[in-house]
Amino acid sequence: MSISQEDVEKVALLARLSIAQTDLPEVTERFGRVLQLVNELNTIDTEGVAPMSNPHDMVQRLRPDVVTGSDEREALMSCAPAQDQGYFLVPKVID
Amino acid sequence: MIDSALLNASVSELHQLLTTRQVSSAELTKGYLERIDLLNGKLNAVVTVCAEQAIEDASRADERLTRGEGNILTGIPLLHKDIFCTQGVTTTCGSRMLEHFVPAYDATVVARLKAAGVVMLGKCNMDEFAMGSSNETSFFGAVKNPWDTNCVPGGSSGGSAAALAAGMAPLVTGTDTGGSIRQPASLCGVTGLKPTYGRVSRLGIIAFASSLDQAGPMARSAADCAHMLTAISGLDTGDSTSADRAVPDFFSELTGDISGLRIGMPREYFNDDLDSEVRAQVMSALTELEKAGAQLVDIDLPHSHYAIATYYVLAPAEASANLARYDGVRFGYRCTDPADLEDLYFRSRSEGFGEEVQRRILVGTYALSAGFYDAYFNKAQQVRRVISDDFRSAFQSVDIIAGPSAPGVAFPFGAKQQDPVAMYMEDIYTLAVNLAGLPGLSTPAGLVNGMPVGLQLIGKPFDESTILNAAHRLQLDTDWHRARPAIEDHVA
């Protein structure tokens, strides 16, 4: 299956990435090469094989629902590009 | 300046010198900091140097050692790959997205080494978000291979491998999602181990592909790797995939006895993709192991060919989910003057991520999108089991599996940059090990045209000891791991 520039634009929208129109042909061409590589998967029969999401088929362990860390709000908030009084600042969403 | 005896000393020898107070951790630390200062302009292997903190930590280690306290790693300097969160120290992951990110906490690996009294010298350059096999995708510029500065060091732990090979630290950390410890270890002539999935906690390691990522040691010998592996392994309740398995003292398991060890040689790993001179070096390393009492057995891993296709669906799919968190709001890069919230998301991500990272996000998003999920993601997870079953069957008749770590030696900058698929082929011998969650290491196996070659050894789940012991045997019988690049000559 090959991929069109329109397909790439659609995927970019889903991924919240913007691709400049001038870059689109090259992005599409390289994307297509990767797809061609992974399309080899279609040549192997996997009827009845259970998908593997963890290499040891481990089930995720749950931990007791108790407070373990300390309050690091200030340290964590200091990583934000814009903040005010404990809130993350973003452009106006509602008029 | 640090003398060459110290520069080539093993962790055990350094420990001996430190505990008998023939050298202090402060002296050692200053010596390595000087070396970083001298060589980094040439190599670009280190992105952050923590000189002040390192000297302070070294003095604290010296106090412990003077009191007769501490352990094998106390006072020994180390560099971390810049993918490990370090409290109060910038952690970039090789990306503009995290150029100014200062974590509020330490990764478990960092915390455990800190508790052991290891002295962090700084952070190593890497491919952006660990996506690359040449270090050319780093936002901070490519790392150069100390064996030939016109060539790549491999990736993604290329800064770690280059720094180690150039003697900027006796120990470094790496992470390996598809070969990112073993391939640069091979290209830079050092020893690097990817542990079994779950052996080492992933908490605080900036996530790439969560079902494949694993952190491990890189050092000048298997014995030194064993010391670090013991310190960083073991259950961490903060990582729900961390394995609840007993951790041996890996160093004490290095008996050097490999008589009767059955080593499987997959026919698929010695095919035409492999450079013939590299093959000859790998074979001579295997012959050494045979002389030491091991038995070489031909085996088949019939679905090896599918590893690359499987990996390049699963790793990008997991990456696209993991990297969705970079939205320009809570941490990381934010574009200037966003028109609205959507514009903020789109431009922050497009300006913050480099080309290879964006490509993998796109591929992963595609593979997970409605209508393609079964054809790509589900299918790849099925093939992952088929590949994993190949190893399981092979391990019924052999104890470990051996092959090359990479298809060739280090290549010149730009040689594979235009074609993503050509670059992906660098990891054809390492990817399947991550898919199956197995431990694997690369140990030096001589030079081809003056550039290092690596022998890869793959073990059964949680049996790092056997592959480390085989590498240790090889390192007792050969001098390949002692070969050093003449990088100082270039500087002087």
Domain of B430: which CATH number?
3.90.1300.10
- The answer to whether residue A94 scores a pLDDT higher than 90 is no
Question: What pLDDT does residue B168 have?
Answer: 97
Per-residue pLDDT of A54-81, as tens digits, reads: 999 988 888 888 988 788 888 889 999 9
Q: Examine residue B128 and state whether it is found in any structural domain, yes or no.
A: yes
Q: What is the pLDDT along chain B (492 residues), one digit of tens a residue?
A: 688 889 899 999 999 999 999 999 999 999 999 999 999 999 999 999 999 999 999 999 999 999 999 999 999 999 999 999 999 999 999 999 999 999 999 999 999 999 999 999 999 999 999 999 999 999 999 999 999 999 999 999 999 999 999 999 999 999 999 999 999 999 999 999 999 999 999 999 999 999 999 999 999 999 999 999 999 999 999 999 999 999 999 999 999 999 999 999 999 999 888 999 999 999 999 999 999 999 999 999 999 999 999 999 999 999 999 999 999 999 999 999 999 999 999 999 999 999 999 999 999 999 999 889 999 999 999 999 999 999 999 999 999 999 999 999 999 999 998 888 889 999 999 999 999 999 999 999 999 999 999 999 999 999 999 999 999 999 999 999 999 999 876 564
Residue B372, C-beta contacts closer than 8 angstroms, at least 6 positions apart: B366
Catalytic residue among B156, B160, B348, B442: B156
Q: Examine residue B68 and state whether it is found in any structural domain, yes or no.
A: yes
Position A13 confidence tier, pLDDT thresholds 50, 70, 90: very high
Question: What pLDDT does residue A2 have?
Answer: 78
Output the 3-class SS for chain A: CCCCHHHHHHHHHHCCCCCCCCCHHHHHHHHHHHHHHHHHHHHCCCCCCCCCCCCCCCCCCCCCCCCCCCCCHHHHHCCCCCEECCEECCCCCCC
Helix (H, G, I), strand (E, B) or coil at B285: helix
Cα angle A21, A23, A25 (rounded to 5 degrees) comes to: 90
Determine the structural domain holding residue B431 and report its residue range: 4-302+392-491
Residues of A in Cβ contact (< 8 Å) with B102? 78-79
Q: Which of B467, B430, B445 is nearest to B279 (CA)?
A: B445
Cβ–Cβ of A41/B380 closer than 8 Å? Answer: yes
Contact B290, B420 (CB under 8 A): no
- The whole-angstrom separation of Cα B471 and Cα B477 is 10
Is B81 a catalytic site residue?
A: yes
Q: Examine residue B164 and state whether it is found in any structural domain, yes or no.
A: yes
Catalytic residue among B24, B25, B180, B442: B180
**pTM for the full model?**
0.97
Among the partner-chain residues A18, A76, A90, the one whose CB lies closest to the CB of B350 is: A18
Question: What pLDDT does residue B94 have?
Answer: 98
A57 exposure class (CB count in 10 Å sphere: 0-12, 13-18, 19+): exposed
φ, ψ dihedrals at B69, nearest 5°: -100, -175
Q: Examine residue B313 and state whether it is found in any structural domain, yes or no.
A: no
The number of beta carbons lying within 10 Å of the beta carbon of residue A40 is 15
- The whole-angstrom separation of Cα B268 and Cα A31 is 27
Cα angle B331, B338, B140 (rounded to 5 degrees) comes to: 50
Tokens for B364, please give them: 């992963």
Question: What pLDDT does residue A1 have?
Answer: 55
Tell me what ipTM this predicted complex has. Answer: 0.95
Instruction: Please report, for residues A61, B145, B183, B287, the alpha-carbon distance to residue B296 in angstroms, rounded to integers and kept in the order given.
Output: 40, 33, 23, 9
End-to-end CA distance of chain A: give it in Å, rounded.
Answer: 44
Q: Examine residue B380 and state whether it is found in any structural domain, yes or no.
A: no
Q: Examine residue B342 and state whether it is found in any structural domain, yes or no.
A: no
Which single residue is written with the structure tokens 């699963």? Answer: B314
Helix (H, G, I), strand (E, B) or coil at B347: helix
- The whole-angstrom separation of Cα B103 and Cα B204 is 9
Instruction: Please report, for residues B140, B161, B163, B187, the alpha-carbon distance to residue B44 in angstroms, rounded to integers and kept in the order given.
Output: 8, 12, 9, 16
B102 exposure class (CB count in 10 Å sphere: 0-12, 13-18, 19+): middle
Residues of A in Cβ contact (< 8 Å) with B324? 16
φ, ψ dihedrals at A83, nearest 5°: -150, 160
Cβ–Cβ of B349/A16 closer than 8 Å? Answer: yes
Q: Examine residue B314 and state whether it is found in any structural domain, yes or no.
A: no
Question: Is residue B453 within a helix (H) or strand (E), and if so which, with residue range?
Answer: strand B451-458
Cβ–Cβ of A37/B437 closer than 8 Å? Answer: no
DSSP state of B427: G
When divided into structural domains, chain B yields a total of 1
Q: Is the dihedral of CA B240, B246, B249, B254 positive or negative?
A: negative
Q: Cα Rg for chain B, rounded, in angstroms?
A: 21
φ, ψ dihedrals at A35, nearest 5°: -60, -40
What average pLDDT score do residues A3-26 get? Answer: 96
- The whole-angstrom separation of Cα A34 and Cα B363 is 8
Q: Examine residue B358 and state whether it is found in any structural domain, yes or no.
A: no
Question: What pLDDT does residue B488 have?
Answer: 72
Cβ–Cβ of B102/A78 closer than 8 Å? Answer: yes
